[in-house]
Amino acid sequence: MMDEQSTHEAALAENGRGGVAGEAGPAPADPVELEAGAAGPGAPAVPGAPGAPGAPAETAEPGEPGDGGGPSDEDAGEPRRRRSFWRELPVLIVIALVIALLIKNFVVQAFYIPSPSMEHTLNVGDKVLVNKLVYDFRDIQPGDVIVFNGVGSWDPVPPAVPASSNPLVRLYDAAIRPLFRSVTGLFGTAPGQQDYIKRVIGVPGDKVACCTKGKITVNGVPLSEKSYLFPGDTPSLTHFSIVVPPGRLWVMGDHRFVSYDSRGHMVDPGNGTIPESQVVGRAFMIVWPPSRWRVLPIPATFGQPGVTSGKPAADAAPGPVMVQAAAPLLPLELGFAGAVPLTWLQRRFRLRARSGRGRPAGGRPGQAHRGRSDRGRCENSDHGRAPGRWGRRGPAR
């Protein structure tokens, strides 16, 4: 009797350690749970932990690669492109200034008209374009409206300044100061310039005289100047007769009563004529104000035989005035017009080269990103899968 009671108590103690008789013991850990980071074999699954029964599947956080819901590569690149533009803006300005200086010094320059000596061909406040290349291809002709520098003919030559012994000062005088004046000239200021704008009446070898029957003659041919003279002006109140020396020009303004031209400088070197070498270029168009926008051709009277030495008549139209010129904004505008497409092309090439370096071999730039995203979703689906046949074990036998 005592032996049977001891055997029964031992059986009850054994069942207490293993749980209630007939119930299964703890299920072994699922391999998927082990991959998901379970504590170890036999550890109970924590509710809500990845891989636990009923736990939601893991999803990529918004904005992580592969989720499809975060900012795209294009959105992420927008701030970069904005920063790139501000870094390139100084380069754009420098390129524009260089192009503007090249245009101003070698091709075309605009001049502001501050005096009435060429009215009404040119009025005070007009801006004209001056072609600096035209006389590389043809000679100066009677009737041309030209801009020239009066230093050494109408204006005294400035006294020579002794060179400084300081090399920095010499560098400033030789390079930096002219560059500074050129740049400031782009904004309408031209300090120290002594430029004038007049109409050519006689070229080298011509005999210019006043007056025959109230008209100026060139090589004995009277000029009909009514089309461009200021209303009410006579051709000249000053009588003169001169044969234009080689390499020089006789010039006059269209508003003869107020123009201080070759007639007023007959006591200066050259007897009022100006050297061809000092000609800046030919004024060919009024560009400001818009209401006066027009071309400045040569009046037809200068096409008469004898005046042009048998050359055919040029385009007809009035001409300009004597002025002290000031450089305009047009070259700067043209410089920016040229710099913008150049900078745009440079950015395009650079972005294309950068995208080429970042492209994976054998595919387009977006393919690798999509592969990573798909792989992430597969892994997440494994973590969120219900345990199924592995999650429940049969009762221990």
Active site residues: 117, 198
Buried b (16+ CB within 10 A) or exposed e, 141-161: bbbbbbbbbbebbbeeeeeee
Q: Which residues contact 219 (CB under 8 A, 6 or more apart)?
A: 206, 207, 306, 307
The Cα 197–Cα 19 span in angstroms is 116
Q: How far is the C-alpha of 203 from the C-alpha of 308, rounded, in Å?
A: 9
Distant-in-sequence, close-in-space partners of 37: CB < 8 Å, separation ≥ 6:
50
Say which amino acid occupies 367.
Q
Which pairs with CB-CB distance under 8 Å and at least 24 residues apart come from 290-295? 292/123, 292/126
Is beta strand 195-202 parallel, antiparallel or unpaired with respect to 248-252?
A: antiparallel
Query: Are 37 and 50 a contacting pair, CB within 8 Å?
Result: yes
